Structure 1
Amino acid sequence: MRNFSLFVIIGILICLCIFPVDSKANEQKYDDDDLPISFEIEILPWEVAKDILPKYKKFIVIDVETGKQYQVQRRSGSRHADVQPLTTKDTKIMKEVYDGKWSWKRRAIIVKVGDQFIAASMHGMPHGGGALQNGFPGHFCIHFYGSTTHRSGKMDKLHHLMILKAGGKEEEYLHTVDPYEMIEFFVTGLKYQDPHLLKVTIAENKTSTKLKKMAKSFTYFRITSMSFLPVEDLEGQLVLEVPVEVKYHTDKSGKVTKNISMILIKNSVMDRWRIDSEHFFNQIQGKN
């Protein structure tokens, strides 16, 4: 009996050597098309997105930075989507995303509709009319690639940047931005005290942290005039100084109008423009 068992074991071992078992033979293989949800974030033009999100369509908004999500409904809008939070609970979550204060600040979002994830941008300021019982006094706007504003009929540059951020194309886009547009993004970062915009527009150095702290003190900041050179004349340059007049307000300084210069730098001709944060900080502090 023991000899029989020995022969069986030897036979099994021989079979395993001749016909090795494929450990993956019983595993289910899934192609992307087999998955119930597509995890690809699409950057779709407004002309396509508006048909995916017709009037009264309900969908989910996912905030890129916080991961918080809430339901909304498209109510109207021809050049972009005019949207309302679906319920009081959704309004509460949306307000949490904006740190408890409604704001025109643009935020990168992902719109989830069915099994699609679409890159988009929104602001958080109630305006106009609203029809839902949701505690939200009006509606807000969601922009997709190629969306324009109702008033100007032009694409909003910051919405465009946020859409590309949501779609993972922000850095690629920033390599195409000229220095004057980079200054616009930087000033918007100061205006809205937006740490992400400041991070992607400045050259990190020993004063970067101080600058980000300073930004929190501004209750108002804008450029009232700026000197321009033709963009084509900047080819090959690694440093550019741009004279500007700025107006800003802090609780300590009150209203200030000042002529300063913005210095932008590249590390190489293949690099993109960044604001010299140390020079800017010293200019505002009156050290230069």
Structure 2
Amino acid sequence: MKFKLGRRGSKGLKLKYILISIAIFVFVLRILTIPDTIKIEIAGCTDPLILRGNLVREFYQAYKKSRKIKAKYCLNAPHKITILAKLFSFDLNFFDGSNIYLTNKGKAIIPSEQLKSLLNSYVEQMQTANKQGELVNWEIVNGLFPRYTYAWIEDVETGLRFRVQRRAGRDHADVQPLTAEDTEIMKRIYGGKWSWKRRAVIVEIGTRRIAGSMNGMPHGAGQIKGNNFNGHFCLHFLGSKTHVSGGQDLAHQMMVWKAAGRIEEFIDASGPNEVVFIFFTALDQDSPAIAWKALNKSLEGEELNNWLNKLSSIRIVGLSSVGEEEFAKHYKVDVLYNFTGESKSRRKEIKVIVQQIEGKAWRINADTLRELWENEK
């Protein structure tokens, strides 16, 4: 017996097949494209990772266990890392840095050992990558960050973040905290007291994280009402200059390279007299860790620590060459410095030897610096 479909039935069946075909096509397209990208967010910073097929498969297996799709959860872990996947998303819980389990609306799902290993590996990579900013020349940043646009500033040392708006600046960016809350966070970064000291920062402009340097002193004009910030502050990038001198500020440039995780590269490319300036500038900016990188060996000792704890500022007021030998330069360095709580400056002249290590980078002979703090009253 044969049955014939009416026109309406035939059209309905045809439409059904078309819809099924479209659904299959969309599903296959999602499988082929979406699972290959996962975003790992660390401290508000997002970077895409192109995952290998094995990681996608492992996530899919976990997804099948949960029988849930398009769910979004937050990571409850020491590093506050959120993993988002458009096809499968889970809440990850870490114990002792290695034991992981996934949860979906309170239901625990034990991932495979392969997935645990892959997740730990990618998380570690992202943590390292997000602590460093990209070195971008000021001419380019100037175009990426025009006046009246917004950015996030993240302090490298503390990880604290706040929002700013660029209001002015030709040779560098003059910016202001966006709200009173942003001002409070910025002041907390500086220990509750405004300061001209430079700090290494990462400036998040759109999707880019750019190495920068800021000072922490409100000055000049400020136009944002209600932000509790009397003026603006300076934000520097690679190759940016100060408004007053029209030249690059060593302290700012040093912090830019620190924010990029490449401070040793910066020192390696410096000449012998420049290394001397880097050392004393780093001390002046409360960055002994950078100062020690300019030496041929580390310095330590109770007398040195006491001297550093008292030091509030130091700068070179005179530097002259007094001799040289193969792979070594001799300098007479005249420094002016202040101790905390003292109104009168101190002055001292020392002789410093800068040596070329393995015929390449220049480093200060640490022992020649000892007269700077030894027998200090």
Same fold by TM (over 0.5)? yes
Deviates more, 1:265-274 or 1:109-118: 265-274
User: Contact conserved, 1:222 with 1:248, CA < 8 A, in 2?
Assistant: yes
Write the distance in 1 (CA, Å) between the matches of 2:231 and 2:265: 35
Write the distance in 2 (CA, Å) between the matches of 1:177 and 1:88: 41
Q: CA 1:216/1:192 → structure 2, altered by over 3 Å: closer, same or farther?
A: farther
Q: CA RMSD in A?
A: 3.1
Q: Which residue of 1 aligns with 2:69?
A: none
Write the distance in 1 (CA, Å) between the matches of 2:141 and 2:299: 44
Q: What's the offset of the Cα at 1:229?
A: 6.7
Q: Which residue of 1 aligns with 2:149?
A: 57
| Residue 83 of structure 1 pairs with residue 90 of structure 2 | no
Q: Which residue of 2 aligns with 1:147?
A: 240
| Residue 200 of structure 1 pairs with residue 293 of structure 2 | yes
What secondary structure, in the 3-state scheme, does the structure 2 residue paired with 1:243 have?
A: strand
Q: Which residue of 2 aligns with 1:92?
A: 184
Write the distance in 1 (CA, Å) between the matches of 2:165 and 2:343: 43
Pick the aligned partner of 2:370 from 277, 281, 286.
Answer: 281
Q: What's the offset of the Cα at 1:257?
A: 2.7
Q: Which residue of 1 aligns with 2:338?
A: 249
Write the distance in 2 (CA, Å) between the matches of 1:36 and 1:263: 46
Deviates more, 1:74-83 or 1:147-156: 147-156
Q: CA 1:208/1:192 → structure 2, altered by over 3 Å: closer, same or farther?
A: farther
For 2:374, the aligned partner's letter is Q
User: Contact conserved, 1:110 with 1:119, CA < 8 A, in 2?
Assistant: yes
Write the distance in 2 (CA, Å) between the matches of 1:208 and 1:42: 36
- Which structure's CA Rg is the greater one? 2
For 1:183, the aligned partner's letter is V
What secondary structure, in the 3-state scheme, does the structure 2 residue paired with 1:134 have?
A: coil
User: Contact conserved, 2:303 with 2:373, CA < 8 A, in 1?
Assistant: no
| Residue 30 of structure 1 pairs with residue 30 of structure 2 | no
Q: CA 1:154/1:248 → structure 2, altered by over 3 Å: closer, same or farther?
A: closer
Write the distance in 1 (CA, Å) between the matches of 2:305 and 2:177: 32
Pick the aligned partner of 1:107 from 199, 205, 226.
Answer: 199
User: Contact conserved, 2:336 with 2:345, CA < 8 A, in 1?
Assistant: yes
User: Contact conserved, 1:37 with 1:116, CA < 8 A, in 2?
Assistant: no
Write the distance in 1 (CA, Å) between the matches of 2:372 and 2:223: 49
Residue segments in structure 1 that go unaligned for 5+ positions in a row: 1-24
Alignment of 1:163-242 (within 5 A): 163-205=256-298, 207=300, 210-228=303-321, 236-237=326-327, 239-242=328-331
Q: CA 1:269/1:78 → structure 2, altered by over 3 Å: closer, same or farther?
A: same
User: Contact conserved, 1:241 with 1:262, CA < 8 A, in 2?
Assistant: yes
Q: What's the offset of the Cα at 1:80?
A: 0.9
Count of residues in Structure 1 that have an aligned counterpart in Structure 2: 256
Deviates more, 1:64-73 or 1:216-225: 216-225
For 2:190, the aligned partner's letter is Y
User: Contact conserved, 1:104 with 1:123, CA < 8 A, in 2?
Assistant: yes
| TM-score (normalizing by structure 1) | 0.77
Pick the aligned partner of 2:222 from 102, 125, 130.
Answer: 130
Write the distance in 1 (CA, Å) between the matches of 2:292 and 2:349: 24
Q: Structure with the greater relative contact order (CA < 8 A, sep ≥ 6): 1 or 2? A: 1
Offset from partner CA, 1:55-85 (integer Å, 9 cap, x none): 1111100111111111111111111110001
Write the distance in 2 (CA, Å) between the matches of 1:156 and 1:166: 16
| Residue 116 of structure 1 pairs with residue 208 of structure 2 | yes
Write the distance in 2 (CA, Å) between the matches of 1:255 and 1:77: 33
Alignment of 1:255-274 (within 5 A): 255-274=345-364
What secondary structure, in the 3-state scheme, does the structure 1 residue paired with 2:353 have?
A: strand
| TM-score (normalizing by structure 2) | 0.60
User: Contact conserved, 2:152 with 2:163, CA < 8 A, in 1?
Assistant: yes
What secondary structure, in the 3-state scheme, does the structure 1 residue paired with 2:243 have?
A: coil
User: Contact conserved, 2:312 with 2:338, CA < 8 A, in 1?
Assistant: yes
Residue segments in structure 2 that go unaligned for 5+ positions in a row: 1-31, 40-44, 49-128
User: Contact conserved, 2:321 with 2:330, CA < 8 A, in 1?
Assistant: no
For 1:285, the aligned partner's letter is E
User: Contact conserved, 1:69 with 1:93, CA < 8 A, in 2?
Assistant: yes
Percent same amino acid among aligned pairs? Answer: 35
Offset from partner CA, 1:30-79 (integer Å, 9 cap, x none): 399xx963568432222221221111111100111111111111111111
Write the distance in 2 (CA, Å) between the matches of 1:26 and 1:226: 61
Q: CA 1:209/1:241 → structure 2, altered by over 3 Å: closer, same or farther?
A: farther
Offset from partner CA, 1:144-186 (integer Å, 9 cap, x none): 2221111122122222222122223221121111122122122
